[in-house]
Amino acid sequence: MTPITDIPGVSYLKSPARSAASDNAPVAETVAEILERVRQNGDAAVKEYSQRFDKAELQQFEVSAEDRAAAVEALDPQTRKDTEFAISNVRGFAEAQFATMGGLEDYQPRPGVHLGHRVIPLERVGCYVPGGRYPLLSAPIMTIVPAKVAGVTEIVACLPPNAHQAMIAGCHLSGADRIFRIGGAQAIAAMAFGTETVPRVDKIVGPGNAFVNEAKRQVFGPVGIDQLAGPSEIYILADEAGDAEMIATDLLAQAEHDIRTRVGLITTSESLGREVEAEVDRQLATLSTAETAGAAWRDYGEIILCADEETMIAVSDEIAAEHLQIHTENSQQMAARLRNYGSLFIGPLASVVYSDKCAGTNHTLPTMAAGRYTGGLWVGAYVKVATHQWLTPEGVEQLAPPAIRQSDSEGLEGHRRAAQLRLDRLQAKQGL
């Protein structure tokens, strides 16, 4: 990753006080122990870690049908309406995306050579739903609803035992088939390996803390994962047209997630940069979540001054922010020139908060520059595209000779024989 200061025409009005990188060795060791214990001892180990980390002594991990119904019934009526509004939007967008993913049944590159692919839903997916300091009601919607749209056979949700009851309701309304009160690395282990009560899944999705993230990294291989997520990020591109109050508000809205949230302004206007810095300080004085948001701004906040628009684009593409907002006079044209980001918010009316909660696009997005090579969670993450092929005799005549020659040149006798056998039998049948 190129240091931002190595890009010509770049300087800092405010630089981050700390690096986003951290030593993960202690977390990795603890997680490795948890995974092995759960692999060996199943439910007993899960129960032990739930008692140790969550102070929860549960007689059963799975949420019963009666408890699911009670959680939904206990929802505030307006909260339920808002949850169903978000589910409807996320489902609608996922369905529109899924409609673009057609199968390919019969492509013929040569006469008699038939190729294709099928879009096959995964059989069982595990959705980790974080607890956190607040009930993040949008979290289960973003992981469970697209899985449902994709046609996943069974959706398993895990959430910490002390998660708010509304989160259970959210899992139920989103379409989870089974819900377990298990959190942390032990939840990832249970879904990855299976226990006496938790079924083994094929893929694990959803964000979590450092222990959840590390557990996903360590179990990857036998099971799939969506991505490895770091602390949340928001960067805003702005020129002299930017509104300092709005920009500061959006930066702090994301900063209140976590004290390690990365928040930044990339601008061609020094005066706007100074105004935003002053506005952040002003708003922090009255923000109820200032303890968290202020720490994030102090330690990881940055204001990057760029000589021109080209430099601003280069800096943004190098950072590849999870959330990238555009507050420039030519926001649509600017959007078309950007290539590295998790999700893009074009124009000052498109705030991250709408996507985080209810707009319809997914809020599970790549961080730590992963936006340079991948997008966020979407309906396509819950299916696999598997190819197939079949040949007619004419197809064998097309493919066998080059396959035989290639096998010979590679010294792979078995490959050559497999290709030759079919050609020989075909020619014998034809009396050649």
- Mean pLDDT of all residues in the chain? 95
pLDDT tens string 368-378? 999 999 999 99
Contact 225, 196 (CB under 8 A): no
Percent of the chain with pLDDT over 70: 98
**Six-digit token pair at 205?**
């999705």
Residue 41's SS3 state is helix
| pLDDT given at position 118 | 97
* Contact of 382 with 366, CB cutoff 8 Å: no
Tell me the CATH architecture of domain 25-228: 3-Layer(aba) Sandwich (3.40)
Q: Which tens digits make up the pLDDT trace of 106-131? A: 999 999 999 999 999 999 999 999 98
Give Rg (Cα) of the chain: 26
pLDDT over 80 at 250, yes or no: yes
Q: At what angle do helices 413-429 and 393-410 cross, to 10 degrees?
A: 150
Give the model confidence (pLDDT) of 330-354 as tens digits.
999 999 999 999 999 999 999 999 9
- Residues with a catalytic annotation lie at 322-323
> What count of other Cβ atoms lies within 10 Å of the Cβ of residue 353?
16
Q: Decide whether 4-20+231-360 matches 25-228 in CATH topology.
A: yes
Measure Cα distances from 276 to 82, 205, 270, 331, 351 in Å. 32, 36, 10, 19, 17
Q: Which amino acid, 311?
A: T
- Reference 418, options 430, 428, 408, 409; nearest CA is 408
Domain 4-20+231-360 bears CATH identifier 3.40.50.150:
no
How far are the Cα atoms of 131, 178, 381 from residue 159, in angstroms, in the given order?
A: 7, 11, 21
> Hey, how many other C-beta atoms are within 10 angstroms of the C-beta on 256?
20
Whether the pLDDT of residue 18 is over 90: the answer is no
* Bridge partners, residue 325, by sequence: 236, 345
Structure tokens at 130: 């974080």
Identity (one letter) of the amino acid at 397? E
Mean pLDDT (whole number) for 297-303: 97
User: For 314-359, where are the E strands, in sequence order?
Assistant: 323-327, 343-346
pLDDT at position 134 is 67
Tell me the average pLDDT across 364-392: 97
Which stretch of 67-71, 96-100, 226-230 has the lowest confidence by average pLDDT? 226-230
Predicted local distance difference test score (pLDDT) of residue 22:
64
- CA–CA separation, 180 vs 187, rounded Å? 9
Task: Tell me what percent of the chain is helix, strand and coil, each rounded to the nearest 5.
Answer: 50, 20, 35
* Alpha-carbon span 124 to 421, nearest angstrom: 40
Shortest CA distance to 58 belongs to which of 186, 240, 215, 172?
Answer: 186
Confidence of residue 1 (pLDDT cuts 50, 70, 90): low
CA distance 181 to 110: 55
Contact 237, 312 (CB under 8 A): yes
pLDDT per residue over 154-212, tens digit each?
999 999 999 999 999 999 999 999 999 999 999 999 999 999 999 999 999 999 999 99
Q: Is the pLDDT of residue 2 over 80?
A: no
pLDDT of residue 59: 86
What is the phi/psi pair of residue 425, to 5°? -65, -40
Do 131 and 55 contact (CB within 8 A), yes or no?
no
Q: State pLDDT tens for residues 308-319.
A: 999 999 999 999
3-state SS assignment for residue 303: strand
Q: How far apart are the first and last CA of the chain?
A: 61
| pLDDT value at residue 229 | 85
Contact 287, 252 (CB under 8 A): yes
* Residue pair 264/236 in contact by the 8 Å Cβ criterion: yes
Q: CA 128, CA 375: separation in Å to the nearest integer?
A: 19
427 sits in which H/E element: helix 413-429
Among 174, 167, 9, CA closest to 84 = 174
Give the pLDDT band (50/70/90) at residue 4. Answer: confident
Q: Would strands 178-181 and 154-159 be described as parallel, antiparallel, or unpaired?
A: parallel
Short-list 221, 200, 12, CA closest to 124: 200
Instruction: DSSP letter for 380, please.
Output: G
Contacting residues for 426 by C-beta, under 8 A, at least 6 apart: 393, 396, 397
The full set of domain ranges for the chain reads 4-20+231-360, 25-228, 392-429
Q: What is the pLDDT of residue 23?
A: 59
Q: What angle do CA 319, 89, 175 make, to 5 degrees?
A: 100
Least confident stretch, 56-60, 75-79, 140-144, 168-172:
56-60
